Amino acid sequence: MARKVLVLGEVRDGSLRNVSFEAIAAGKTVSEGGEVVGVLIGKSVSALGQEMIQYGADKVVVVEDDKLEQYTSDGYSQAILSVIDEEKPEGIIFGHTALGKDLSPKVASKLSSGLISDATDLEEAGGNLVFTRPIYSGKAFEKKIVTDGVIFATIRPNNIEPLAKDESRTGEVSSLSVDIKDLRTIIKEVVRKASEGVDLSEAKVIIAGGRGVKSEDGFNPLQELADVLGGAVGASRGACDADYCDYSLQIGQTGKVVTPDLYIACGISGAIQHLAGMSNSKVIVAINKDPEANIFNVADYGIVGDLFEVVPMLTEEFKKLKVSSS
200-325: which CATH number, 3.40.50.1220, 3.90.78.10, 2.60.40.1930, 3.20.20.450? 3.40.50.1220
pLDDT at position 195 over 70:
no
Q: Quote the strand ranges of the chain, DSSP E.
A: 5-9, 11-12, 15-16, 36-42, 59-64, 91-95, 116-119, 121-125, 128-135, 140-144, 151-155, 172-175, 205-209, 232-235, 262-266, 283-288, 301-304
Q: Which of 266, 276, 270, 272 is nearest to 245 (CA)?
A: 266
Strand partners, 287: 266, 303
Mean pLDDT (the chain, rounded): 94
**pLDDT score, position 196:** 61
52 close to 71: Cβ distance less than 8 angstroms: no
Mean pLDDT on 170-175: 96
Residue 196 CB neighbours (<10 A): 5
Domain residue ranges of the chain, discontinuous segments joined by +: 5-175, 200-325
pLDDT tens digits for range 126-151: 889 999 999 887 789 999 999 999 99
**pLDDT score, position 324:** 82
First-last CA distance in the chain:
48
5-175: which CATH number, 3.40.50.620, 3.30.457.10, 3.40.718.10, 3.40.50.300? 3.40.50.620
The one-letter amino acid code at 69 reads: E
| Identical fold between 5-175 and 200-325 | yes
177 close to 211: Cβ distance less than 8 angstroms: no
pTM of the model: 0.87
Q: Which of 216, 315, 214 is nearest to 264 (CA)?
A: 315
pLDDT tens digits for range 54-108: 999 999 999 999 999 999 999 999 999 999 999 999 999 999 999 999 999 999 9
